[in-house]
Structure 1
């Protein structure tokens, strides 16, 4: 069900979904991978009869790898700020 606001033409829900998905970055995907890994291991443990602690250990290893990647190997970089300390030392 789609609801329009009064006085404004509403955006198509499919277009809104496309806009949101286009704005997803690497770190958003990383946050989604961790719980998905746990859900997949829970399903795999129940389907294949793998003991849950072993399955969750595998999911934890995936989660640790993702966290290590986004925090230490490829950390977020603040692209909006500039380093003004070099400018001040050159002026002094």
Structure 2
């Protein structure tokens, strides 16, 4: 039984040793890229209104409030159909939010 175990152990060690140079091949450039990827996105701005931009209704009137983030701004809607309307023409609602919030 020992020879079989030794054979399996030596194969496993050889397999790990063969992979070691790849890990050591990491360059400073690849490390820098990893840091750039790990950079966190800034937190989106909160939605300043208590009403849906699409219908003008209160956000909790439909018991179906949905949220999305577009260009760093959070948008909240009273229901999923309003979110669909927003997605068809987000620029319209970005302008409406700017106008409504001051």
Higher strand share: 2
TM-score (norm 1): 0.27
TM-score (norm 2): 0.25
Higher helix share: 1
Larger Cα-atom Rg: 2
